[in-house]
Structure 1
Amino acid sequence: MAESPASPAVRLRSRAATEASIVEAGERILLRDAFPGLNVQTLAAEAGCDRKLVYRYFDGADGVVARIAARAHAELVRALDAVPASAADTLRAFARESLSAWLGALRASPLTLRLMAWALVESSPLLNRIESERSAVLQAWMRERRPRLRVPPEGDPVAVNAVLLAAVQHLALTGSVRPGVGGVALDEAGWARIEGALDALLAVFPD
């Protein structure tokens, strides 16, 4: 006797479960083997499914990477949203809060750090879009939190903040793969020194 075809609801659940399995497989590969090891063949093998399903559900490995990036961005949003509301009354204080919050969010998201490292050595429309989306996460959070502070006419605090932001992101990346940088061990005591250095560097901002 032939088996009856699965109902639409059962097929939908089966597809959702397979998609989740493939995305989770991609995350494991990315964290364990880094980006060179992530392709349709390794995704299918890790997820225990046919390669055709990676193409059918995601249109290839890029679709899986895009889904992973969306999950990584959600991690960043959760980490940033957990930061207490800003009590800053100067640009210096707000910049300090923002840089510290972003550093903490990055360090708490290994997937984000893997994607950032990937974008440093390879350029593609997908990776460029992921970088833009990550930047938008921080910008949206800062717009929501930023108090109404006057930007001084002298100096260029926006450019200074960009330099410090780049430094913070590099430190988070380095801390995920190396024990230290520039003579500073990236352990608990070292991160405290980094935070202190941010305070010193932000002295260029007006009170």
Structure 2
Amino acid sequence: MGFWDWLTGRDSTPPPAALPEVDPAPTEADIMASLAGVDQLIGSGRLPSVVRSRAARVADLVRKTLPRLESLGLGSYDSYSVVATATDYLPEAIGAYLRLPQDWADSRPVENGKTPLLLLIDQLDLLGATMQKIYDAANSTDAAALIAHGRFLQERFGHSAAPVDLTVPPATDQPATSLNLERP
């Protein structure tokens, strides 16, 4: 604001620029719809069997990981990778291959002597290995909790070397039964 603007009461400061709108994060319904689209591509018969099996593996790993995203930390790189694989990476890889004529895509070397088919297989293998690691990481939290609980139980109940003797109280007309559980 200059002196003249101050005297006249005018503000020469431009209004702040509007922030660009950001697309909202995909919802679970968006992710499942994208995976359903991938399933349609897989079942269309337009993909070689080697591609179908790899793409189905990636889609299956994403589906199994989705309910466990919270254990990865919402907003984490791994969570983002799962969502992006379902909504972008996997459909785009398959779509790029399908946009090519199949005879050309399966026989024409395009990069380092590899055909688009081989490039797609490499991409699907990479996505599959990555989704497997993320799925394992998502489950490791509960596995670690199970291990910790087992250690607690061992410390709490596993210190006695004497056998545990459990006597079942007799029913009205049956003699008492004794169970003697020996520890290995």
Higher helix content, 1 or 2: 1
Return the structure number with greater relative CO, CA threshold 8 A, min gap 6. 1
Q: Select the structure of larger CA radius of gyration.
A: 2
Class of the TM-score when normalised by the shorter of the 2 chains: under 0.3
TM-score if structure 1 supplies the norm length? Answer: 0.23
